[in-house]
Amino acid sequence: MRRNLMFFPVPGRTLSRGLTTALLVFLLAACVQAPRRAPPVEDRSTRSPAAAVAVPAGAAVASAASAPDAGKPLPGAENAGKPGYYTVKPGDTMIRIGLETGQNWKDIARWNGMENVNAIEVGQVLRVLPPTVDPTVVAAKPVASTKVEARPLETKPGAAAASAPGGSASGGTVAAAPQAPVITQTPAASSNRDDDELNWAWPASGAVLANYDEARNKGLAIGGKAGDPVTAAADGRVVYAGSGLRGYGNLVIVKHNTTYLTAYAHNQTLLVKEDQPVKRGQKIAEMGSTDAERVQLHFEIRKLGKPVDPVKLLPPR
Q: What is the phi-psi region of residue 109: left when phi exceeds 0, alpha when psi lies from -120 to 50, beta otherwise?
A: alpha
Residues in the chain: 317
Give the global pTM.
0.62
β-pair partners for 265 = 298
User: CA 118 to CA 94: how far, in whole Å?
Assistant: 8
User: CA 239 to CA 112: how far, in whole Å?
Assistant: 18
CATH number of 199-312: 2.70.70.10
Domain ranges in the chain?
58-127, 199-312
Q: How confident is the model over 232-270, as pLDDT tens digits?
A: 999 999 999 999 999 999 999 999 999 999 999 999 999
Q: Which CATH superfamily is domain 58-127 in?
A: LysM domain (3.10.350.10)
Residue 133 neighbours by CB distance under 10 Å: 14
DSSP label of 240: E
User: CA 315 to CA 227: how far, in whole Å?
Assistant: 24
Poorest-confidence range of 86-100, 135-149, 256-270, 297-311? 135-149
